[in-house]
Amino acid sequence: MSSAKRTKTNPDLQKERDGASFNPFSLTCLLHGGEDNVERKRELERLALDDPELQHEHLSFLSREERYTLGIKKTIRFINNCWELDINGIKDVNIYKTAVFRGMLEPLSVHYGMFLPTLLSQGTEAQQDKWFSQALNYAIIGTYAQTEMGHGTFLRGLETTATYDPKTEEFVLHSPTLSSAKWWPGGLGKSSNHALVLAQLYTQGQCYGMHPFIVQLRSTEDHTPLPGITIGDIGPKFGFDEVDNGFLMMDHVRIPRENMLMKHSQVLPDGTYVKPANSKLAYGTMMLVRSYIVSDAAQSLCRACTIAVRYSCVRRQSEMKPGEPEPQVLDYQTQQYKLFPLLSAAYAFYFASHYMMDTYFQLSGNISQGDLSQLPEIHALSAGLKAFTTQVMSSGIDTCRMACGGHGYSHASGLPLLFANATAGCTYEGENTVMFLQTARYLVKCYGASKTNEKLSGTVAYLSRVQTAAVAGKGARNLLNLEELVGAYQHRAARLVGMAANQLQAQAKAGKSPEDAWNSCSVQLVKCAQAHCHFFMVRNFVDAVRTADVDSATRAVLNTLCQLYAIHGIIEHSGDFLEDSYLSGQELQQVNSHLVSLLAKVRPDAVALVDAFDFPDEILQSVLGRYDGNVYENLYDWAKKSPLNKSQVHESYHKYLKPFLQQNKAKL
């Protein structure tokens, strides 16, 4: 239990907790995989949160340089502690890390997120002997330098070259233009002394495309940049203050032939290029990264909902009835309409991240046994879900912030920082529109295959049963029935995929090149990919509710949330369901009344539903979202610590205001 939890709780919040229809701990256990896991999580969190070496001022009181320095200090403490306290395993390490950093980002995350895994997956045994153990033990620090100033998502467009010189058995790494400067890699600017540089490989006069090369950037003696290396920080960003995202230009930098990672492709000493056996292996890592992004998106949305829901119970505003006390903001239907669908989405995303993780491990097993059959489907799904969840999460945090009124705009709420950091997920690791179009390409392909009676399986199996013709409502339907709702989303997704595919075909028939046809249908293609992801979300949420090992009270509240998630989506996209008369206008009216009932049904359980996420106050970093609800006292305490309050009279008064006021007074 966090220390905050021991103080007296705001009575409004206590009343909410007392009135909940279920025990939030049962949901906490469901979300975290059982009671043992919850206990271990809390134990690891306390280890980090109580560590005196990890205490510091509120982030928003620090300058960017101070935050970078703090990030480095925390990183080192984090690594040393993992070693000393024997914190192992990706799950434990991640829990501990989250509690160490508490809303900060880690300047060296690329070292263990990309540098180490790439060494492992693409280095030969000899290379691993040489580099991996140094890197694993942080005797060197590496980053992964892929994107360039002028080139992002499109890897083939990268300009950096690695030209093999058989005379010296070296590669010459070079940045031929300004736009080829490596730009954005985390930890590149000031921290790393090595990088895995992705460059176009040239040997024997021919280009063989992108390959990874180990380049030493800075001296291991004094950290100064090596000859030929121009390196620095790319400057301040929306968020990520702690991270030295960097730039790198190389002027004919020579590295030994052995510094090309050669597990898959090779360049022999004479310059002969040897092709890789299977180029699809890298997709596994990409899927893992995307699974983490989905999981992060879920976490970020959970945090924002926790803050906004708790504060909306503490905050009282306006007068609903003359003479009565100001109601809790959460009693306003408009506030419920903002927050509860997001709360239901947070649960949907949580369950989706469980699915992604499970699927990843299952898939990895299959791949290691040579079975790549599921790869395209899961790859397409992971691209779409990455985009779908980050998009909803990003705008959702913003909605939560604005739902907290003026105080949401203060850094005391924690929401501006949460937004600024989390919204980056919409752009990195594949820009969201590009991601949706990848998913769409696979869906359209599957739709085409189904027309030739090819059997589809997994998450796209439903495309075999596409009905694009208008389907009238089938009489009286119960639109609170979960399978009925799944059916509605499935119908919408199938119809939109079919429509996009048919449009594409029509454009091609009209004489357009495949590329022009694709581009001219791309708005529709994005929409069909979104509909597919939305269908997956509803389907998966329904399955999660059905299979959840929980008591009946908990199942009932999950069921309500799941209904709300699906009903709200129909209202937000009502045109898609009305367009072919799948729903009638009258049915939509029913859906609207269902929404009103569901909001009212969630209301008494809202606080318990966010408590179930089990964020310690120190991780939430929000005065508004405190577990004890003592918002106003702590808002005042927080403000008093603001750097501008260090003196009663700010120095700018003496320098500027005083002479100005005196000048003006004299003139009167």
Question: Which residues belong to the active site?
Answer: 429
Q: What part of residues 390-449 is at the interface with a second copy (CB under 8 A)?
A: 394-395, 398, 401-402, 405-406, 408-412, 416, 420, 423-424, 426-428, 431-434, 437
Among 37, 588, 590, 604, binds a second copy (CB under 8 A): 588
Which is nearer to a second copy, 268 or 635 (by Cβ)? 635
Which is nearer to a second copy, 62 or 348 (by Cβ)? 62
The CA distance from 541 to 554, in Å, is 14
Interacting stretch for a second copy, rule CB under 8 A, among 25-33, 92-100, 328-336, 355-363? 328-336
Look at residues 504, 493, 486, 485 and name the one whose alpha carbon lies nearest to residue 590: 485
Among 24, 113, 123, 189, binds a second copy (CB under 8 A): 189
Min dist CB 363 to a second copy, Å, is: 27
Which is nearer to a second copy, 1 or 84 (by Cβ)? 84
Residue 361 as a binder of a second copy (CB under 8 A): the answer is: no
Interacting stretch for a second copy, rule CB under 8 A, among 239-247, 260-268, 367-375, 539-547? 239-247
Alpha-carbon 411 to chain mean position: 21
Residue 579 as a binder of a second copy (CB under 8 A): the answer is: yes
Count of Cβ atoms closer than 10 Å to residue 345 Cβ: 27
Which is nearer to a second copy, 425 or 616 (by Cβ)? 425
3-state secondary structure of 253: strand
- Written in H, E and C, the secondary structure of 120-158 is HHHCCHHHHHHHHHHHHCCCCCEEEECCECCECCCHHHC
Angle at alpha carbon of residue 293, lines to 288 and 299, rounded to 5°: 125
Residues written for the chain: 668
Q: What part of residues 211-230 is at the interface with a second copy (CB under 8 A)?
A: 220, 222-225
3-state secondary structure of 161: strand
Which is nearer to a second copy, 415 or 620 (by Cβ)? 415
Min dist CB 476 to a second copy, Å, is: 19
Among 6, 321, 474, 509, binds a second copy (CB under 8 A): 321
C-alpha pair distances (Å), 362 with each of 31, 113, 374, 473:
20, 21, 10, 39
Residue 207 as a binder of a second copy (CB under 8 A): the answer is: no
Min dist CB 402 to a second copy, Å, is: 6
Which is nearer to a second copy, 362 or 427 (by Cβ)? 427
Copy the structure tokens of residue 24: 């939030």
With contact defined as beta carbons under 8 Å apart, do 100 and 77 qualify? yes
Binding pattern for the stretch 458-477 against a second copy, x by CB under 8 A and - elsewhere: ------------x-------
Min dist CB 60 to a second copy, Å, is: 4
Which is nearer to a second copy, 24 or 186 (by Cβ)? 186
Which is nearer to a second copy, 214 or 544 (by Cβ)? 214
Min dist CB 224 to a second copy, Å, is: 6
With contact defined as beta carbons under 8 Å apart, do 537 and 565 qualify? yes
Interacting stretch for a second copy, rule CB under 8 A, among 234-242, 252-260, 441-449, 473-481? 234-242
Burial 497-525 (b: 16+ CB within 10 A, else e): bbbbbebbeebeeeebeeeebbeebbebb
Which is nearer to a second copy, 453 or 647 (by Cβ)? 647
Min dist CB 306 to a second copy, Å, is: 19
Min dist CB 665 to a second copy, Å, is: 4
Min dist CB 560 to a second copy, Å, is: 18
Helix (H) or strand (E) holding 420: helix 415-422
- Written in H, E and C, the secondary structure of 24-80 is HHHHHHHHHCCHHHHHHHHHHHHHHHCCHHHCCCCHHHCCHHHHHHHHHHHHHHHHH
Interacting stretch for a second copy, rule CB under 8 A, among 190-198, 201-209, 299-307, 446-454? 190-198
**Residue with the two structure tokens 């508004």:** 624
With contact defined as beta carbons under 8 Å apart, do 597 and 487 qualify? no
Q: What part of residues 153-182 is at the interface with a second copy (CB under 8 A)?
A: 153-154, 156-157, 178-179, 181
Count of Cβ atoms closer than 10 Å to residue 7 Cβ: 15
Main-chain phi, psi angles of 429, to 5 degrees: 55, 40
The CA distance from 189 to 182, in Å, is 10
Q: What part of residues 112-151 is at the interface with a second copy (CB under 8 A)?
A: 133-134, 137-141, 147, 149-151
Interacting stretch for a second copy, rule CB under 8 A, among 38-46, 97-105, 183-191, 195-203? 183-191
Q: What part of residues 614-653 is at the interface with a second copy (CB under 8 A)?
A: 632-633, 635-636, 638-645, 648-653
Among 105, 120, 234, 375, binds a second copy (CB under 8 A): 234
Copy the structure tokens of residue 227: 């000859």
Min dist CB 333 to a second copy, Å, is: 5
The CA distance from 484 to 538, in Å, is 11
Main-chain phi, psi angles of 496, to 5 degrees: -70, -35
Beta partners for residue 215, in sequence order: 195
The CA distance from 301 to 347, in Å, is 9
Q: What part of residues 45-74 is at the interface with a second copy (CB under 8 A)?
A: 60-61, 63-65, 68-69, 72-73
For 169: left if phi > 0, alpha if psi spans -120 to 50, otherwise beta; the answer is: left
Interacting stretch for a second copy, rule CB under 8 A, among 4-12, 47-55, 379-387, 579-587? 579-587
Which is nearer to a second copy, 1 or 154 (by Cβ)? 154
Question: How many binding residues for a second copy (CB under 8 A)?
Answer: 145
The CA distance from 553 to 50, in Å, is 35
Sign, CA torsion 345/349/351/355: positive
Main-chain phi, psi angles of 175, to 5 degrees: -105, 100
Give the amino acid at 116.
Answer: L
Min dist CB 618 to a second copy, Å, is: 18
Sign, CA torsion 15/18/23/25: positive
Among 19, 33, 209, 236, binds a second copy (CB under 8 A): 236
Which is nearer to a second copy, 398 or 543 (by Cβ)? 398
Among 524, 530, 554, 560, binds a second copy (CB under 8 A): 524
State the DSSP code for 514. Answer: H
Which is nearer to a second copy, 31 or 329 (by Cβ)? 329
Min dist CB 154 to a second copy, Å, is: 4
Min dist CB 181 to a second copy, Å, is: 7
With contact defined as beta carbons under 8 Å apart, do 253 and 228 qualify? yes
With contact defined as beta carbons under 8 Å apart, do 336 and 595 qualify? no
Q: What part of residues 280-319 is at the interface with a second copy (CB under 8 A)?
A: 315-319
For 529: left if phi > 0, alpha if psi spans -120 to 50, otherwise beta; the answer is: alpha
The CA distance from 14 to 16, in Å, is 5
